Structure 1
Amino acid sequence: MKVLAGDINKHFRQHLTIYLDALAVLCAALLIYLFVQTALSKVLHHAVFRIQMGKQPLPGWSKPLLVYALPVIEWATVLLLLLRRTRLWGLLLAGSLLFAYTVYAYLAYKEVYGYVICACGKVFEDMGWREHFYFNAIHTLVALAGFYFVYKSKTLKANNKKE
């Protein structure tokens, strides 16, 4: 039994970067799907998105900027996540966006600004702020886990090259 456990442990150590890369791709794929859905909704239903953004408790100067910047940033995140060379940055950007969305969803859930309409797109229109908060929090953790997997894999590969 010890021999089998030793063989499994040796195999796992030898192929750890492959497993980390696979987990990172899985996290990235989930986030790509999410950001494609939200960005596409904001582009296809731009007039509705613009109206909803106008009702957000944000500084007036930021609303016209965010109406165009958010879809562009979300599409850029998708592109960064798609490419292996830029996936680490894509996961960092996705995590940052999702963290900001999570904080915003929490504030809306607690009604800090009173009732706020969701401007996230058609994907979330049936979700309440509580569900939205938990959804965003889970996806923030997915982005952070993916970031860790890519970072750890790159570190292991760099250490193996030195040896």
Structure 2
Amino acid sequence: MSYKGIYSKLVTLFSLLLTILFVYTAVSKLNHLDTFHLRLERMPYISSYASLISLGVPFLELVIAGLLWFSKYRTIALYASFILLGLFTTYIIIVLKYSDSIPCSCGGVISALGWKDHILLNITFMVLALLGILWSKKQYKIQATQKSVQ
């Protein structure tokens, strides 16, 4: 199997995993929107933006999940995934370092994770997004080289 095929399959796998993560978390938040909003209101530093975040984050997660399946938009969706997960992770680290009370605003199975597990999960998915970005670029370079040779 060529490297082109391997990179393409891995980028597709990473896109699938990110899609599952984002759809699961978005649906979980939307299914329990009142609870999600209430928990956001109790979060340090972002409580005044709870209304915007409670609708904006699930919407953004679903948009990113959808864009991951269009090859034209996949790289930008991988960047968006990396940035969104980076923001979540940075926020968790800041709250853990500087706040006393930290309610979890996650839903479903993910809410059962401890904070260190949240950070580890986010970093794992950030690595997948970053590898997807790098390998998508590599795949496009391979395709461009092949087209210019023909």
Length-normalised TM-score, structure 2 = 0.92
Give the distance between the partners of 2:12 and 2:69, measured in 1 at CA.
Answer: 9
Give the total of aligned pairs.
149
Aligned residue in 2 for 1:138: 124
In structure 2, runs of 5+ residues without a counterpart are none
CA deviations 1:67-91 (Å, max 9, x no partner) are 1110110000101112222111111
Contact 1:81/1:87 (8 A) holds in 2: yes
Report deviation, 1:59.
4.1
Q: 1:157 pairs with 138, 143, 146, which one? A: 143
In structure 1, runs of 5+ residues without a counterpart are 1-11
CA deviations 1:30-56 (Å, max 9, x no partner) are 111100110000111111101011111
Q: Where does 1:45-124 land on structure 2 (aligned, <5 Å)?
A: 45-110=32-97, 112-124=98-110
Contact 1:41/1:123 (8 A) holds in 2: no
Contact 2:64/2:81 (8 A) holds in 1: yes
Q: What letter matches 2:101 in structure 1?
A: Y
Contact 1:105/1:130 (8 A) holds in 2: no
Give the distance between the partners of 1:156 and 1:36, measured in 2 at CA.
Answer: 31
Report deviation, 1:106.
2.0
Give the number of the structure whose alpha-carbon radius of gyration is greater. Answer: 1
1:92 is paired with a residue whose SS is helix
Sequence identity of aligned pairs in percent?
27
Query: What value does the CA root-mean-square deviation take over the aligned residues?
Result: 1.4
Length-normalised TM-score, structure 1 = 0.85
Contact 1:38/1:123 (8 A) holds in 2: no
Contact 2:40/2:46 (8 A) holds in 1: no
